[in-house]
Homo-oligomer: A and B are copies of this chain.
Amino acid sequence: MNGADALIETLIDNDVVACFANPGTSEMQFVSALDRQPRMRPVLCLFEGVATGAADGYGRMAGKPACTLLHLGPGYGNGLANLHNARRAFTPIINVIGDHATYHQKYDAPLASDIHAIAGANSVWLKSAASADEVSALAAEAITASYGPPGGSASLVLPADTAWSPTNATGGKASRPAKAAAPASTIEEVARRIRAAAKPVILLGTGACNEAALQAAGRIAETGVRVLSDGFIGRLPRGAGRFAPDRMMYFAEMAVADLAGVDLMVLTEAKPPVAFFAYPDKPSVLAPEGCETLPLASLAEDGAAALSAIADLLGAPRAPSVQPLKLPAAAPTGALNPAAVGLAMAHHLPEGAIVSDDSVTAGQSILNATRTGRPHDWLGLTGGAIGQGIPVAVGAAVAAPGRKVVSLNGDGAAMYTVQGLWTLAREGLDVTVVIFANNAYRILGIELGRTGAGNPGPAASKLLGLGEPAIDWVNLAKGLGVPATRCETAEAFDAAFARAMAEPGPKLIEAVVP
């Protein structure tokens, strides 16, 4: 047994059984060791941003980490943006980062760089193995760290000689630390303050959006207290039978108006909400003036239990407020736009579907339309780094076989990690990729005005538009092995989406929208 064997055995023994990989020379021992460990599922990704995004999607759905296999500092760099998103989703991930052999590092070979600096910003844990004997224990430590709470990506740097050298040191055991209970005194104080407030609201962060937390929040909603969630949630169970918190508005002035008169905001595994971006003469903070923010459960505490206790203290009924099943009365017709896509999705999205959302400006229409749809999970763009829609869908499909996955993407966003289409084909994953083809970074046209930069002139227009040449998504997908259709009307999209929901396997639908 060598260090690579010890690593994979430790990962598997601690239930890390999927590996999203884009290996290089320094990772060859790990690759070879996979041949001796059939319990680990290796998934090749043709770019590291696909591998890290897939690990994020896997972790969100499986509730346990997958590992990535990345090639030194540049390989981690390629995967950095989706690890940024994963950090904001608190997703447990194990990054195995190959490195030069320990004795080779002093020579500053061409691929050498400061991995610790590059990987530090998005890792909850980051260590390098100094010998093969250390690998198993460090892997266990990494897995434990990835669970948090809150979770995050743990990065284990594996110098090539620590992988190829023999070792007998195995058996590292990870643990999964439980979230601490919020103190009873805090819970009682929050309940008292809610009762005393004129217009209290409760804000749920990603950690407080699991089924149990939503159930408790839905009970509280029955007492007349408004419940909101952060704008972007790692995994939000939605649809019929679930409580649907309102979504925090994206633009600060809208959020402040929406929350007018609110004097108390109770934070449940959430930070005080702030604007995604600052704009001249617009507020940074989303709570209105005079509104106090009061933590109920920190990011490391059990928000669901705390909410349940609050519901009891407020005398809430046992049954939460939930959404009815209410599908659109008719299929969409006429012009194709995000609202029509939303109607078609609400019609055809099967129970248990998973939606990976990187649709930027189109997303709100789909959220609105599917609010009372069949129960599903919605995976949001937590960190704002576009390019997670396809990769997260890859990982979700690996984590949840038997569930239909729909990946919603702005065309600009999808181009970031378009390589993920190939992995959908390679693995035969049951993912339908929808591209909102508006031939533009549409959001930036809006943002240009909001930042006080005025209307786009010729140079600016050139940087915001994707139309010259228009991307031909059908050929692009075909080139990567995924069958694709282009839809220009609501009827065509409805039919294509219905077909995609009825048949298994990867598909791409280019939705031509304004």
Contact = CB atoms under 8 A, between A and B. Distances in A.
A44 B23 CA distance: 30
A123 to B, nearest CB: 11
A276 B121 contact: no
A224 interface: no
A498 interface: no
Contacts of A103: 278, 284
A417 B470 CA distance: 18
Oligomer copy total: 2
A118 interface: yes
Given A78-B49, A277-B160, A463 B42 contact: yes
Contact of A276 (B34, B110, B458): B110
Contacts of A477: 479
Contact of A35 (B21, B81, B387, B460): B460
A280 interface: yes
Given A29-B453, A472-B479, A110 B384 contact: yes
A473 B383 CA distance: 32
A469 B481 contact: yes
A481 B479 CA distance: 13
Interface stretch (A129-137, A259-267, A351-359, A419-427): A419-427
A478 B476 CA distance: 7
A416 B459 contact: no
Interface in A62-119: 73-75, 77-78, 80-81, 84-85, 87-88, 100-101, 103-104, 107-111, 113-114, 117-118
A25 B444 contact: yes
Nearest to A383: B110
A415 B47 contact: yes
A250 B285 CA distance: 56
Most chain B beta-carbon neighbours within 10 Å: one of A419, A443, A454, A459: A459
A31 B385 CA distance: 19
Contacts of A447: 24-25, 28
Nearest to A385: B74
A475 B479 contact: yes
A425 to B, nearest CB: 5
Residue among A84, A117, A451, A454 with most chain B CB within 10 A: A451
Contacts of A26: 277
A120 interface: yes
A463 B260 CA distance: 55
Contact of A80 (B37, B78, B160, B272): B78
Interface of A: 21, 23-26, 28-29, 31-32, 34-38, 40, 42, 44, 46-47, 49, 73-75, 77-78, 80-81, 84-85, 87-88, 100-101, 103-104, 107-111, 113-114, 117-118, 120-122, 160-161, 164, 232, 271-272, 274-278, 280, 284-285, 382-385, 387, 412, 415-416, 418-419, 422, 425-426, 443-444, 447-448, 451-454, 456-460, 462-464, 466, 468-481
Given A28-B453, A32-B457, A44-B462, 9 more contacts: A35-B457, A40-B459, A77-B81, A107-B284, A108-B271, A109-B277, A114-B121, A415-B422, A479-B479
15 contacts: A24-B447, A25-B447, A29-B452, A32-B448, A32-B454, A104-B275, A107-B275, A107-B285, A111-B276, A113-B122, A114-B121, A117-B120, A118-B118, A415-B422, A416-B419
